[in-house]
Amino acid sequence: MSSLLDKIDHLGIAVKSVSEGYRVFPLAFGLKPHKFEEVPEQKVKVAFYKVGDSNLEFLEPTSEESPIAKFIAKRGEGIHHICFKVNDIYQALENLKNDGYRLIDEKPKIGAENKLVAFLHPKDANGVLIELSQSQG
């Protein structure tokens, strides 16, 4: 059986600010954000940096209630999640559930770039918060 994972789509990095002028390491490598986006559903502002075929997503909380705000309060800035691109997110979630994995999102929701996204519980993924993402259309 082939893997449901297509590739690593992006790394999510929690930061206090994504505004220009805020010191983030991609700038030191000559990378500039190619896009900014606000995702109200997840209470974040996102800056996208393209690295080859993948992305870095810098995530800034827009509310104290944002999971990113809670993450930074507890652990400081840093890597927040790894996102895998999948071709069939519904099938992937069903397989995980049938295998006993805990899902944060039982059903996909709309994430940045209008993609379908769902998170898997880090307790069942070696401490790593994993996001699955599928492009629409």
**Segment lying near Zn ion (by CB under 5 A), choices 8-16, 25-33, 91-99, 118-126:** 8-16
In the complex with Zn ion, which residue's Cβ is closer, 84 or 96?
84
Residue 9 to residue 86: CA distance in whole angstroms: 9
Residue 104, SS3? Answer: coil
Q: 10 near 59, Cβ under 8 Å? A: no
Residue 93 to residue 102: CA distance in whole angstroms: 10
Q: In this chain, which of 18, 39, 131, 132 binds Zn ion, going by CB under 5 A? A: 131
In the complex with Zn ion, which residue's Cβ is closer, 83 or 118?
83
**In the complex, least distance from residue 81 CB atom to Zn ion, rounded to whole angstroms:** 6
**In the complex, least distance from residue 15 CB atom to Zn ion, rounded to whole angstroms:** 13
Q: How would you class 18 by CB atoms within 10 Å of its CB: exposed for 0-12, middle for 13-18, buried for 19 or more?
A: buried
**Segment lying near Zn ion (by CB under 5 A), choices 12-20, 69-77, 85-93, 119-127:** 12-20
In the complex with Zn ion, which residue's Cβ is closer, 96 or 117?
117
60 scored as a contact of Zn ion (CB under 5 A): no
Q: 124 near 118, Cβ under 8 Å? A: no
State the distance between the two ends of the chain, measured CA to CA, in whole angstroms: 26
In the complex with Zn ion, which residue's Cβ is closer, 60 or 131?
131
Residues that bind Zn ion (CB under 5 A): 12, 83, 131
